[in-house]
């Protein structure tokens, strides 16, 4: 038997898949979108851009922008009963 992989993107074959029309790189304008502190943003992972990608468990979750860290944003997201702070680049965020 082969040992199961414990990688960062394991079990994401269908979750991180793009539709046929959307294949390839996303538009560059997604990188330049800005968010203000206190604004709500939802996490939608763009599988074509690996840098600044949050963990798959945060896919579809909505959080509050807390600040910036370099080019990325700090988001407060409720995961179960805990509040978690994640670092996400703007390519993986949408305004909500």
CATH of the domain at 66: 2.30.30.70
pLDDT band, very low/low/confident/very high, at 9 (cuts 50, 70, 90): confident
Say how far apart CA 26 and CA 34 lie, in whole Å.
17
Is there a domain that residue 50 lies in? Answer: yes
Q: Is residue 51 part of a domain?
A: yes
Is 7 among the domain residues? no
**1 in any annotated domain:** no
**Mean pLDDT (the chain, rounded):** 94
Dist CA 93 CA 73 (whole Å):
9
**C-alpha torsion 33→82→11→51, nearest 10:** 30
Q: Is residue 8 included in any domain, yes or no?
A: no
Identify the pLDDT of residue 35. 97
Instruction: Assign 38 a pLDDT band (cuts: 50, 70, 90).
Output: very high
Q: Domain for residue 48, yes or no?
A: yes
* Alpha-carbon gap, residue 79 to 58, rounded angstroms: 8
The pLDDT value recorded for residue 80 is 93
Give the range of the structural domain holding residue 61, as residue numbers without chain letter. Answer: 20-95
């Amino acid at each position: 038997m082969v040992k199961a992989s414990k990688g960062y993107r394991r079990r994401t074959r269908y979750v991180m898949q793009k539709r046929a029309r959307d294949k390839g790189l996303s538009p560059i304008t997604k990188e330049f979108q800005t968010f203000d502190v206190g604004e709500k943003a939802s996490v939608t992972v763009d599988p074509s851009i690996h840098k600044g990608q949050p963990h798959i468990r945060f896919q579809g979750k909505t959080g509050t922008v807390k600040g910036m860290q370099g080019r990325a944003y700090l988001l407060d997201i409720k995961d179960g009963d805990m509040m978690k702070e994640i670092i996400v680049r703007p390519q993986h965020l949408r305004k909500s």
